[in-house]
Amino acid sequence: MTSSPEQPRRAMTMREIREGLGHVQPGQPEPYVQATGYVVSCLPEGHTDRWTFTVQVKYAGGDRWSVRHGLRHYSVDGAWEYEPDHGEDDAAEAAWKQAHTFDHDTALWIAREVAPSLTYRGYTVADALAEHRTP
C-alpha cells in the first residue's frame, strides 16, 4: 500500500494570521493608511516661533500636493495667494487647484526652498533663531 504525499499548504496571509490571533474580527474591513502632510521649518521643534515660520505640504488629492504658509498657498508662478471663494464654479476651483498644487517631490522641494526666507512683519527666520535659542 502506498501513501500519497501530503499536499503543501498555502501560506497564510497576514490578515488570516491576525484573525487567528484574535487581533482582527473576521470580516472586519481593513483600514487604509495614507500620509497627508509634512511640516517644513528651519526652526526646531519646541521653538516658540516655529509655527510662524513653518511651511506645510498637504495632500490635495489626485497625487497633487499644496504648499502652504498659514492661509496662503504657493502658486506655480512663485507667488503666495489666498484661496478665493469659488462658490459653485467647479471649473474655476479646478483651475485654481491646478495652479496651486504640485507633484509630491516638487512640493517638498519648494517648501525647503521657501522655508528659510519666510518673514513675519519684518521678522525673519534668522532673527528668530538668533533671539530665541531652545534649550
Query: Could you count the other beta carbons within 10 Å of the beta carbon of residue 49?
Result: 17
Residue 134: the pLDDT is 47
Residue 127: which of 115, 135, 114, 119 has the closest Cα?
119
What are the residues whose beta carbons fall under 8 Å from the beta carbon of 98, sequence distance 6 or more? none
Look up residue 102 and give its DSSP letter: B
Residue 76: which of 99, 110, 106, 108 has the closest Cα?
99
Residue 17 cell numbers, joined? 494570521
Residue 5: the pLDDT is 67
Cα distances (Å, whole numbers) of residue 99 to 9, 104, 106: 54, 15, 13
pTM of this structure: 0.76
For residue range 45-60, list pLDDT tens digits in order.
999 999 999 999 999 9
pLDDT bracket for residue 116 (50, 70, 90): very high
Asked if residue 3 has pLDDT above 60, the reply is no
Residues of the chain with pLDDT > 70, as a percent, come to 93
Look up residue 103 and give its amino acid: D
Cell numbers 487581533 label which residue?
23
